Chain A
Amino acid sequence: MFGLLGPNGAGKTTTVKILCTLLEPTSGHAFVKGYDVVKDAGRVRKIVNMVAGGERMLYYRLTGRENLRYFADLYDAPKKEVTARVNNLLELMGLSDRADDEVEKYSKGMRQRLQVCRGLINNPEVLFLDEPTLGLDVNIAKDLRSFVREKIVREQGKTVLLTTHYMYEAEEMCDRVGFISKGKLVAVGEPQELKRRMPSGFSIEILVTRLTEETISGLGKLESVRKVITTDYEGESEGEKIDRLVVNVDNDEALPHVLTHMASTHCRVVSFNLRGPTLEDLFMFYTGEK
């Protein structure tokens, strides 16, 4: 599962639409499963589908079941399987009891779940989710994320490309993420790997007693340490005043070096906490957005 992240207007939806054959690239080439999205558009359409946020792409005057049967016909799904496939999808998304109601009578969440059914009606190899939880309430969005992650990605082994504004959504769902800014892919990789690549992305907060200038200057000379900040701290340990240190480091591998240095300068470490960058930090770092 791949997450495409970027600010408004960065080109996320445009990228998805190009990959789905709904837009033609102004230059360059794009491929899905080895097929050129312009030259082999017909083949690409058979193996992909897209779910967009915002309740579109459904016929409101048709029932949920009629919508799915119609799209099954457009994708030439095997006729013998259509009824079972439609029923399964409706069951999976919890819409069975409202399957024969017109979509205009559905709530926003139900429409979005039906959209997911539509996106899966052709059993696509690659599914594009363009802001799929947009406007959904917390519980429905959570269920949808869990469904995509567990059923579509883990159980069915499908490739999913997700675009979202919600960093926690990408962090929770995606194996790999890419950051897009002004139409350019500026970074791509596993979240942990990207965090490691981010200079000064990690910080170690250390509560310490017997802190000396020698300790602080020595820390600053360590290879992976970028910055050392001391701040006041209200508290004592075994009768000694506690100081608080925040050490910005390149990666998590710097932690043992920092602690060894502290010990060698006779400081007493009361506690420490290593904090890695969040996806939000990465987003700001790679896209330059705040």
Chain B
Amino acid sequence: MFTRVAMAEALKSLKVYFFSGRTLVWTLVLPLGNGLYLCFLYLPFATKSVNLQFNAATYTIDLVGFTIIGQLLYSFFTMMLLAGASFEAERWQGTLEALLLSPANRIALLLGEALANAVNYTWMLIALVLSWVAFIRVSILVTDLFALFASLALSYLAMVALGMCLETFDIYSRRGSIFTAWLQEPVMFLSGQIFPLQSMPGFLLPFSYLLPLTFGLMAVRLTLLGGASMHEVAVPLVALAIMTIVFLILARVLVNYAERRAKAKATLTQF
């Protein structure tokens, strides 16, 4: 039943929220433009590189690649924030009660919504990679394909799990998406999306390490642009795996709490 509900929820969300002409432009064409913007912004520095320090080693990686990967994963993080907004849309159209009236597994519902956003992100990813390949040359250095795959997969999973936690905010309250929107700017700053973590003031680093985006960026940049092996990115990969598990457990606890509180406070029909 779990898989069936998650798939049904994902398909419904894609049909209802994404597969319209307007949202296709938003998810496919606009990111393409965004990719081009980034390309031309960094083109003057295309020959430059950035030093990324990790595990007492320094990796010299392509600056444009560094920036574009930062943009890609941050966009994915934003999509996960938007997964929460799907439940806000359920409120607007008066379907949240119908959803929660059913015996469907709540985690499956959250996963379905997050997956719909993840699939939607894939369009964005394709658009950005296309622009990257078509217009600029980025020095790719991959020595361990499995490590790259593991980095991408675990980043994806950890952020989907985080997205599931954030969705519970919108089940609890109509103001849920405001809370998740607050995360956008701090995450952009703390995760090392636009500059290497070693540039960050030391006292902020503990906050950086609470974010899956930080470890995702680290692992993907090192394996795709820095030629790092599985052994070298073991720490961020383990961190991502632990975060995935923790976020899934947290999502389970939060969704039960959010649903019970919403039912006790009669907020399911508020929009």
Q: How far is the CA of A50 from the CA of B102 in the complex (A)?
A: 10
Q: What are the residues of chain B within 8 A of A59 when measuring CB–CB?
A: 12, 16, 93, 95
A76 touches B4 (CB 8 A): yes
**Chain A nearest CB: distance from B93 CB in Å?**
7
Would you give the 0/1 interface string for A12-36, flagging 1 where the beta carbon is closer than 8 Å to chain B?
0000000011111010000000000
Q: What are the residues of chain A within 8 A of B20 when measuring CB–CB?
A: 61
Among A42, A60, A74, A76, max chain B CB count under 10 A is at A74
Would you give the 0/1 interface string for B93-108, flagging 1 where the beta carbon is closer than 8 Å to chain A?
1110111111110000
**Chain B nearest CB: distance from A46 CB in Å?**
5
B8 touches A49 (CB 8 A): no
Q: Is B263 an interface residue when CB atoms closer than 8 A count as contact?
A: yes
Q: How far is the CA of A278 from the CA of B1 in the complex (A)?
A: 49
Would you give the 0/1 interface string for A49-73, flagging 1 where the beta carbon is closer than 8 Å to chain B?
1100000111111100010011101
Among B7, B103, B260, max chain A CB count under 10 A is at B103
Q: What are the residues of chain A within 8 A of B4 when measuring CB–CB?
A: 73, 76
Q: What are the residues of chain A within 8 A of B134 when measuring CB–CB?
A: none
Given A73-B4, A74-B5 in contact, is the A60-B103 Cβ separation under 8 Å?
no
Q: Is A118 an interface residue when CB atoms closer than 8 A count as contact?
A: yes
B97 touches A46 (CB 8 A): no
Instruction: Categorize the interface residue count of chain A.
Output: 20 to 34
Option from A24, A26, A61 in Cβ contact (under 8 Å) with B15: A61
B101 touches A20 (CB 8 A): yes
Would you give the 0/1 interface string for B13-44, flagging 1 where the beta carbon is closer than 8 Å to chain A?
00110001000000000000000000000000
B94 touches A22 (CB 8 A): no
A71 touches B94 (CB 8 A): no
CB-nearest residue of chain B to A122: B102
Q: How far is the CA of A9 from the CA of B98 in the complex (A)?
A: 22
Number of interface residues of B (CB under 8 A): 26
Given A45-B102, A59-B95 in contact, is the A24-B263 Cβ separation under 8 Å?
yes
B98 touches A23 (CB 8 A): no
Q: What are the residues of chain A within 8 A of B263 when measuring CB–CB?
A: 21-24
Given A56-B94, A59-B95, A61-B20 in contact, is the A45-B8 Cβ separation under 8 Å?
no
Q: What are the residues of chain B within 8 A of A58 when measuring CB–CB?
A: 95, 98
Q: What are the residues of chain B within 8 A of A233 when measuring CB–CB?
A: none
Q: Is A147 an interface residue when CB atoms closer than 8 A count as contact?
A: no
Q: What are the residues of chain B within 8 A of A61 when measuring CB–CB?
A: 15-16, 20
Option from B1, B93, B94, B101 in Cβ contact (under 8 Å) with A49: B101
CB-nearest residue of chain A to B104: A74
Among A22, A24, A60, A75, max chain B CB count under 10 A is at A22
Q: What are the residues of chain B within 8 A of A62 when measuring CB–CB?
A: 12, 15-16
Q: What are the residues of chain B within 8 A of A56 when measuring CB–CB?
A: 93-95, 97-98
CB-nearest residue of chain B to A50: B101
Q: What are the residues of chain B within 8 A of A60 when measuring CB–CB?
A: 93
- Using a CB-CB cutoff of 8 Å, which residues 144-193 of chain B contact chain A? none
Q: What are the residues of chain A within 8 A of B125 when measuring CB–CB?
A: none
**Chain B nearest CB: distance from A38 CB in Å?**
9
Given A23-B263, A73-B4, A76-B1 in contact, is the A57-B97 Cβ separation under 8 Å?
yes
Given A59-B16, A70-B8 in contact, is the A21-B101 Cβ separation under 8 Å?
yes
Q: What are the residues of chain A within 8 A of B100 when measuring CB–CB?
A: 22
Q: How far is the CA of A42 from the CA of B98 in the complex (A)?
A: 14
B8 touches A73 (CB 8 A): yes
**Chain A nearest CB: distance from B104 CB in Å?**
4
Q: What are the residues of chain B within 8 A of A20 when measuring CB–CB?
A: 101
**Can you list the 7 inter-chain pairs with the closest CB atoms, starting with the nearest?**
A56-B94, A73-B8, A45-B103, A57-B98, A74-B102, A74-B104, A76-B1
Cross-chain pairs A/B with CB under 8 angstroms, 15 sampled: A20-B101, A21-B101, A23-B263, A46-B103, A56-B95, A57-B98, A58-B98, A59-B93, A62-B12, A70-B8, A73-B5, A74-B8, A74-B99, A74-B102, A74-B104
Supplied contacts A23-B263, A57-B94, A59-B16, 9 more A-B pairs, CB within 8 Å: A23-B266, A61-B16, A61-B20, A62-B15, A70-B11, A70-B12, A73-B4, A74-B104, A76-B104
Interface on A for B, CB 8 Å cutoff? 20-24, 26, 42, 45-46, 48-50, 56-62, 66, 69-71, 73-76, 118, 122
Interface on B for A, CB 8 Å cutoff? 1, 4-5, 7-8, 11-12, 15-16, 20, 93-95, 97-104, 260, 263-264, 266, 268
